[in-house]
Amino acid sequence: MLADQAEGASWTAAVAAVDGLSARDFRRLAAFIQDYSGIKMPESKRTMVEGRLRKRVAATGAADLADYCARLFDDGGLADEAVHLIDVVTTNKTEFFREQEHFRILETVALPRLLAERRASPYTTLKVWSTASSIGAEPYTLAMVLADASQRHGGFRIDIIATDISTRVLETAAAAIYPEEMIAPVPLEMRQRYLLRSRDRAQRLVRVVPELRRLVRFGRLNLMDATYPVDRDLDVIFCRNILIYFDKPTQQAVLAHLCDHLRPGGYLFLGHSESAAGFGLPMKPMGASVFRRE
């Protein structure tokens, strides 16, 4: 019995070794992913990458991970596969009202100041960019907060652009359908105004109301691109919990681009462990990982 178990364990380990990524293939994948998206892939991520890529192995008809990598790097298939590869290896953690203090600062500090600076215009449009929108929780949270504020402040216009490098999550975001448990952080009065429950209650799904969905425009964008097809007079940019995946030179480049797209007086919101300080940018810290363009 023990001999059989030992033989079985040995066979399982041998299969895993054959089916896994070689050190060379992982290095090639990690280098491409970082060059393309800025996301670092240390050796500790190797098992995660293997697991996620097996779906692409099956979808492409490759024999195994080694064959898949050969098609990418040796047979010229990388250009056609790049978007799909990035889709499966990127992590898209998100939730409604994540880091809630940011939305309080937006509502009570940034917004009154932004509106006061342009009070002379009766048709003020507040321009906001969610740079790593994932499945849409962040931009729809922004839409809820700003829609409520618009009613209190005389009806300013709202234009939210939401981008992500993953086409997969953008499809989910555009559909705006979420499991009920995901909306737990949304205040009850906002749920009643901005979320519709499925007619089939057994599905336990909700959808963002059409009038709120119309405030948000989704599109694919890679923060590693040399230029961004986004307005350069934005009032607010949310770029949270993405810089932590970049090395310092990449952080510098991305923050410089974001700064260029903020109008003077505009606000940049980063993740709680991220900062725009120390990069020589005209950004003034406002607390809680919030910066104001000077």
SS3 assignment, position 253: helix
SS3 assignment, position 128: strand
Quote the CA–CA distance of 97 and 141 in Å, as a whole number.
6
Q: Judge contact between 159 and 216, C-beta under 8 A.
A: no
Tallying the residues shown for the chain, one arrives at: 294
Helix (H) or strand (E) holding 279: none
Quote the CA–CA distance of 181 and 192 in Å, as a whole number.
15
* 52 tagged catalytic: yes
Q: Within 10 Å of residue 287's Cβ, how many Cβ atoms?
A: 9
Q: Judge contact between 105 and 139, C-beta under 8 A.
A: no
Query: Nearest CA to 251 among 275, 230, 221, 229?
Result: 275
Quote the CA–CA distance of 131 and 241 in Å, as a whole number.
10
Q: Which of 25, 87, 164, 235 is catalytic?
A: 164
Q: Which of 27, 28, 52, 197 is catalytic?
A: 52
98 token code pair: 């994540």
Angle between helices 23-37 and 65-73 (to 10 degrees): 50
* 164 tagged catalytic: yes
Catalytic residues: 52, 164
